[in-house]
Structure 1
């Protein structure tokens, strides 16, 4: 949506992202990741939040922290008498740039970085 030249284009792109993600969402709450670590905030995100919600009743776009999203998911599941399955690995595709806590992942990353460093030394 950040590439959009207008608010309408950004809203269209956001809605298409929502339509794709809702197919795999556990509840009616759908997480739409916006941007990545170490990037400027998306230029349209707050405008979409305000304009879309002023015109439509569903879906509602809410700017929220991940903890607010997960709290809403847990609440909806609890109300329905179900629970989410436990996730046992890091969620790097969702939280890019997030430090990992698994030694095998860290060791593989270190080995790859060292291989690249050695290759760069030969390229000079």
Structure 2
């Protein structure tokens, strides 16, 4: 469950989100729509903790600030529309990156990780 209450965020002195609240149940499918520059991506990044928004954001009843990044990454995946790096990779390689929070030391995949990706 995701619960966000009265979240706000600004880029410098330019507000991007103002008192946004949302509640999402597990498995619920949601679309965030709006014109360019309306704050859609900013909202997603705030809900993931990539932007330090004011207000309250909780995942599974715990404040976003209380989550260890690895534990949150095991529950939530984010793939931006325009990646920050020019990645020339296959769909399988992209899916393998989604297993990164489960990798052992030194980024070593287990056979289980490979099996999970193959199932997709």
User: Same fold, TM exceeding 0.5?
Assistant: no
Q: Which has the higher helix share?
A: 1
Q: Which has the higher strand share?
A: 2
Structure with larger RCO (C-alpha < 8 A, sep 6+): 2
How does the TM-score come out when normalised to structure 2? Answer: 0.29
